[in-house]
Structure 1
Amino acid sequence: MSSWTEQDIPDQSGRVVVVTGANTGLGHETARALAEHGARVVLAVRDVAKGEQAAARLPGDVSVQALDLTSLASVRAAAADLRAAHPRIDLLINNAGVMYTPKQTTADGFELQLGTNHLGHFALTGLLLDRLLPVPGSRVVTVSSNAHRLRAAIHFDDLQWERSYDRAGAYGQSKLANLMFTYELQRRLASHGTTVAVAAHPGLSRTELARNAPTALRLPLTWLSPLFPSAAMGALPTLRAATDPGVVGGQYYGPDGRREVRGHPTLVTSSPDSHDRATQQRLWTVSEELTGVAFPVG
């Protein structure tokens, strides 16, 4: 299918969707499109007041759930609330993220980008998975980035960047981890036959994600941002991964333009490193140990 757009989203009536980081940017546009197509959408956000404001701008059945991915206690509390409110979940979209932050740690002592982008979502997915498994056609969609190719590796010898810190390298590691998590999760889900794991990336888009970039990079991004595709356009790969009936578990969607910077969503290929099965499995084991969350599949 060429030039896939929001108009290609099938009817989502009856589906329960949880979108992390949905009060702004890509997450908000993702939530909007799904709500407009009939889904019951939960905005899982750190700032509940902003989440309520975002929910008020959306049509249909939209609610807000407090979720701070930098705190495993918050992740567990959010998962408990979601489990109590929703006997079934059709779609979990792991969208929230931070980028190029100065050296910081989460409440649990994890490097901020890895802790937010990967470990928080890893824990949330594991705690909610039994709400997805009984639902035919359910999906876990995790948002990665082209940055998974740039100075990116899983640094098991210094996973939390305690010896030295490179904000771009740490971001790349977290986005590579998103893909490795997706591929390993899909392998574990395959025998169940109901839920699939899929990844997507937006290319470039006009969002606030790069606000923590170093000045040398932030200024050019600010000057050039009017030329970037809109957040609604950037959300299309996620939306296709979440709703296209032809999607298969383990796939990766991104823009179809040159270097996957812009364009309509299509099936794309991730780096060879992201497909290293031994590293995927080791990262999974480490992630379970760090978060204390064991998945009901495997």
Structure 2
Amino acid sequence: MSPGDKEMAMMNGKTVLVTGSTGGIGKETARGLAGMGARVILVGRDRTRADAAARELGPAATAVTADLATLAGLRALAAAVSARHDRLDVLVNNLGGMAAPRTRTADGVETTFAANVLAPYALTCLLLPLLRAAPAARVVNLTGGIPGGPIDPANLQGEKRYLGWTFSQYNHAKTAVMAMSRRFAAVDGVAVNVAYPGHAYTPGNRATTAAAFPYAYRPLVPVIRFLGPRFLDDLAKPARSSIHLASSPEMEGVTGVYVNAKAERTPWPASVLDERNCDAVWDLCGRLAGIAP
């Protein structure tokens, strides 16, 4: 899908930060926005990969490295961006992932929750001054997997039960980030929306080991690795929902919207509309991060 004149005009000269953008959907999102004339900041953990991705995308792209699974890494990223830019027009919280078995970050936070929910919450809070300095700033948070199931406020970090594969803790976290985003959408000075990219075969999928799947499902791993590159390797398609929310003129000033893989507005799942769930996720993020918008 090539950008139209309105999208090009909307993004020309804008500053955009995309997390998890040294490969996969994040890099394709950054590529699409750079092609519209935006200045794109790529974020990854590995300096070599980040610099290579920036060179691939051309002079519109620069690279910053940070470990976004930790609060120290998030603060370092926000400080680095603030030192170089006086405003941020778009923040795309693309980074995600799952951990198996259950592990904790250096901050003591369950890793899957930290990457998928706490990181976008904390980074958005830290970058709010730059976002508010831009006219009509946008935040795009990515869900994924098969979101929309029930949210268990007592098990947000897998305290009671943890299955670190794509149909359990990862999905739970991806639904929780929707609840967090819906609450963040009410914060003044920034529009926060959620994109569902659909299914894709990304570098993260390739790196997932058989141990991430329950034993009964491990025979499916070779099948996934065989079919994935053949049917789900076009990463431009799953990037379009994020690009739409970041660049579409029709989304200017719109907040609290969820779009599907076709970039169509979609109703929030019932679990995300439950204010008790939103409260639980929002309060936990605030406590763990130690910051609020």
Normalising by structure 1, we get a TM-score of 0.87
Identical pairs, percent: 31
Which residue type is aligned with residue 288 of structure 2?
L
1:157 aligned onto 2:154: yes
1:203 Cα deviation (Å)?
A: 0.7
TM-superposition CA deviations, 1:208-265 (whole Å, max 9, x none): 233424234433321221112611111001100111111221111122xxxxxxxx42
1:200 and 2:195 aligned: yes
Structure 1 unmatched runs, 5+: 256-263
Q: Secondary structure at the match of 1:114?
A: helix
Provide closer, same or farther for how the CA distance between residues 49 and 229 of structure 1 changes in structure 2, counting only shifts above 3 A: closer
* SS of residue paired to 1:42: strand
* Distance in 2 between residues matched to 1:294 and 1:266, nearest whole Å: 30
1:18 and 1:93 in contact (8 A); partners too = yes
Aligned positions of 1:213-292 closer than 5 A: 213-214=212-213, 215-225=218-228, 226-228=230-232, 230-247=234-251, 248-255=254-261, 264-292=262-290
Task: Say if 2:12 is the partner of 1:6.
Answer: no
> Quick check: 1:293 aligned with 2:265?
no
Q: What does residue 128 of structure 1 align with?
A: 127
8 Å Cα contact 1:35-1:60 kept in structure 2: no
Q: CA deviation at 1:177?
A: 1.6
Instruction: Please give the residue correspondences for 1:50-61 in structure 2 after superposition, counting only pairs within 5 Å.
Output: 50-61=49-60
- Deviation, 1:169, is 2.1
Q: 1:100 to 1:223 in 2, by over 3 A?
A: farther
**Could you report, residue by residue, the CA deviation over 1:69-118 in whole angstroms, capped at 9, with x for unpaired residues?**
11111111111111111110000000011136332211111111101111
Note closer, same or farther for the CA distance 1:250–1:27 as it changes in structure 2 (3 Å cut): same
Cα deviation, residue 164, structure 1: 3.4
AA at the equivalent of 2:241: P
CA deviations over 1:145-181 (Å, ceiling 9, x no partner): 252224x42x332332244321142111210121112
Change (3 A) 1:217 1:76: farther
**C-alpha separation between the residues in 2 aligned to 1:169 and 1:267?**
25
Q: Residues 192 and 256 of structure 2 are in contact (CA less than 8 Å); yes or no, is this contact kept in structure 1?
A: yes
Map Cα deviations across residues 15-41 of structure 1 (whole Å, 9 max, x no partner).
010000000000000111111111111
Which whole-Å CA distance do the structure 2 matches of 1:187 and 1:219 have between them? 44
Matches within 5 A, 1:56-95: 56-95=55-94
1-structure distance, mates of 2:98, 2:268:
19
Partner of 1:180: 179
The letter of the residue matching 1:156 is P
The residue that corresponds to 1:260 in the other structure is none
Whole-Å Cα distance in 1 between the matches of residues 100 and 136 of structure 2? Answer: 36
Distance change in 2, residues 1:6/1:174 (3 Å): farther
2:163 pairs, out of 158, 166, 182, with 166
**What residue identity is the alignment partner of 2:193?**
V
**TM-score after normalising by structure 2:** 0.89
Taking the aligned partners of 2:106 and 2:220, their CA distance within structure 1 comes to 28
- Helix, strand or coil: the match of 1:188? coil
Return the offset for 1:129.
Answer: 0.9
> SS in structure 1 opposite 2:18?
strand
TM-align CA RMSD: 1.7
Q: Which sections of structure 2, spanning at least 5 residues, go unmatched? A: none
Contact 2:145/2:199 (<8 A) preserved: no
Please say which of residues 109-118 and 21-30 is displaced more in the overlay.
Answer: 109-118
- C-alpha distance in 1 between matches for 2:144 and 2:242: 11
1:144: which partner in 2? Answer: 143
